[in-house]
Amino acid sequence: MELNCSELGKFFSQILTQKAQFDQALKVESVDQAEELSQELKASIERLSVELVWPFSEFSHKTLKEQYESQVQILVQNGILERLPSGERYITGIDDEKYFLPTLGQIIRQIMSRPELKDKISQGFTKLQVTPFALSLPELADAVAQTLLDHHKAGKLFAAKRNQDDPKEQLTQLKLPNDCETNPGHSPLSMWEGYTNDKVMGSGGLVYFPKRFDPKKHQGKTKQQLLSEKSTFPGFLVTLTEPSSEMQPNIILGNRIRMNPKKYLQDLQSQPKYQHERGITPEEWLVRFLVHLEQTDQVIDVMKSSAPDGGNRCYHLGAYFVSGNASVSEVLFDGLNNRVFLKWGHTEPIDWHSETYRVVGV
């Protein structure tokens, strides 16, 4: 990013002011104030450094910051992120361990240390998502269900627009079942029991990031196994994804065609241009759904009928059930019953309603 002289002057003036305040705090031995000013000074210097060397013209540092802050606010207001007295945000994982929210600075440093991300950003992966992966799926699903209910009560629940930038496109209002709070069969979100059994929560039925859809040779790992391994952002999945809210088969984005999941899986293993990409997990879909709902009052992936234009359901190719039907995770917002259904789907979807989102890990 190129800064003009006026903008550079403002940055340096702010840094010099903070440095003077820090020196004064040290002079009068105000330790707490000095520590606070020290952190602010470091943040300002880091922010200037980023602005000077940020290499992504298609994805500004300002946009990244706005996306991060908006998502953190949504996770906080929905009770997903907890807070220590020191101010640090964290989640409590399925293993009862605390996992701290990645800071914006950590994410920026990681993005800038990955030169291969420049190509992916130029291809259209310009939306940051921070997913609290270590949480149990039922806990995350409950937060989404409550948010759906809140929007329903406020009369602010709509199907997602096909084009968010089209002011002429009319919104279609959705209403949850009248007894959604009292009848479990009509709750805002229905989750297949396979997600919540002991094997899934522990070490059995659901594995993540499989290399192939084979019950014995999948090479995926359980959530517990992933949490026990060293990672860049422990307990969180930080990704870049495409900015469109709805899956649109055969829509060209970044000079590439968004394809159905079966074809995408094949190309992931054979086409260099899809390197570093993967399908999403159910946790990532739930956060994507939640963030879009809170930002726009709209729900994604509404399927109203089996007609060609009836909508899409999303297959989570980053999650695989190795027991039972040997299936992938699947989700949709049922436009007839107006409920989210988190269930299972066949590993080789072939109809026009089958789609998935692509993401790139940071």
Q: pLDDT tens digits, residue range 237-254? A: 999 998 876 554 444 445
Q: CA 39 → CA 61, 158, 199, distances in Å?
A: 20, 42, 44
Query: What does the alpha-carbon distance between residue 290 and residue 75 come to, in Å, rounded to a whole number?
Result: 9
The alpha carbon of residue 296 and the mean position of all alpha carbons in its chain are separated, in whole angstroms, by 16
Own/partner contacts of 224-232, CB < 8 Å, gap of 24 or more, are: 224/94, 224/95, 226/133, 227/93, 227/94, 227/95, 227/97, 227/134, 232/110, 232/362
Q: Please tell me the predicted confidence (pLDDT) of residue 77.
A: 96
- Give DSSP secondary structure letters for 237-250: EEEEE-S-SS--TT
327-334 mean pLDDT: 88
Give the HSE-up count for residue 20: Cα atoms under 13 Å, Cβ half-sphere.
6
SS3 of 188-231: the string is CEEECHHHCCHHHHCCCCEEECCCCCCCCCCCCECHHHHHCCCC
Q: Please tell me the predicted confidence (pLDDT) of residue 199.
A: 47
Q: Please tell me the predicted confidence (pLDDT) of residue 259.
A: 58
Number of domain units in the chain: 2
Q: What is the pLDDT of residues 278-315, one digit of tens each?
A: 889 999 999 999 999 999 999 998 887 665 566 778 88
Query: Which residues have CB under 8 Å from 109's CB, separation 6+?
Result: none
Looking at the structure, tell me whether residues 179 and 267 fall in a common domain.
yes
Residue 9, pLDDT above cutoff 80: no
Q: With pLDDT > 70 as the criterion, what percentage of the chain qualifies?
A: 83
Closest CA to 299 of 288, 309, 308: 288
53, 68, 94 — which closes off a domain?
53
Helices 282-296 + 137-153 axis angle, to 10: 20
Looking at the structure, tell me whether residues 43 and 148 fall in a common domain.
no
Give CA angle at 315 (160, 69), nearest 5°. 55
Looking at the structure, tell me whether residues 65 and 39 fall in a common domain.
no
168-185 mean pLDDT: 91
Looking at the structure, tell me whether residues 96 and 38 fall in a common domain.
no
Number of residues written out for the chain: 362
109-127 mean pLDDT: 91
Q: Please tell me the predicted confidence (pLDDT) of residue 246.
A: 59
List the domain range (segments joined by +) for residue 355. 60-361
Side chain identity at 248, as an amino acid letter?
Answer: Q
Looking at the structure, tell me whether residues 78 and 25 fall in a common domain.
no
Residue 191, pLDDT above cutoff 80: yes
pTM exceeds 0.95 for this model: no
Q: What is the pLDDT of residues 59-117, one digit of tens each?
A: 888 899 999 999 999 999 999 999 999 899 999 999 999 999 999 989 998 998 998 99
Q: Please tell me the predicted confidence (pLDDT) of residue 223.
A: 93
Residue 292 near residue 129, CB atoms below 8 Å: no
Residue 338, pLDDT above cutoff 50: yes
Looking at the structure, tell me whether residues 158 and 75 fall in a common domain.
yes
Residue 203, pLDDT above cutoff 80: no
Confidence of residue 202 (pLDDT cuts 50, 70, 90): very low
Name the CA dihedral angle for 94, 217, 264, 124, rounded to a multiple of 10 degrees. 40
Looking at the structure, tell me whether residues 70 and 48 fall in a common domain.
no
Residue 129 near residue 71, CB atoms below 8 Å: yes
Query: What does the alpha-carbon distance between residue 291 and residue 284 come to, in Å, rounded to a whole number?
Result: 11
Position of tokens 């602005």?
Answer: 51
264-288 mean pLDDT: 85
Query: What does the alpha-carbon distance between residue 197 and residue 186 come to, in Å, rounded to a whole number?
Result: 21
Query: What does the alpha-carbon distance between residue 230 and residue 59 come to, in Å, rounded to a whole number?
Result: 29
Looking at the structure, tell me whether residues 17 and 103 fall in a common domain.
no
Looking at the structure, tell me whether residues 328 and 347 fall in a common domain.
yes
User: For the chain, what is the mean pLDDT?
Assistant: 84
Q: 137-151, 196-210, 259-273, 322-336: lowest mean pLDDT where?
A: 196-210
Confidence of residue 345 (pLDDT cuts 50, 70, 90): confident
11, 29, 53 — which closes off a domain?
53
18, 38, 53 — which closes off a domain?
53
Q: Please tell me the predicted confidence (pLDDT) of residue 198.
A: 45
Looking at the structure, tell me whether residues 133 and 215 fall in a common domain.
yes
Report the phi/psi class of residue 208: left, alpha or beta, with left for phi > 0 and alpha for psi in -120 to 50. beta
Q: 111-115, 185-189, 214-218: lowest mean pLDDT where?
A: 214-218
Confidence of residue 44 (pLDDT cuts 50, 70, 90): confident
Query: What does the alpha-carbon distance between residue 192 and residue 137 come to, in Å, rounded to a whole number?
Result: 11
Q: 26-35, 206-215, 257-266, 277-286: lowest mean pLDDT where?
A: 257-266
Q: Which residues pair with 314 in a beta bridge?
A: 331, 355
Query: What does the alpha-carbon distance between residue 66 and residue 361 come to, in Å, rounded to a whole number?
Result: 19
Looking at the structure, tell me whether residues 45 and 75 fall in a common domain.
no
Looking at the structure, tell me whether residues 78 and 48 fall in a common domain.
no
Query: Which residues have CB under 8 Å from 152's CB, separation 6+?
Result: 174, 175, 176, 180, 188
Q: Please tell me the predicted confidence (pLDDT) of residue 2.
A: 53
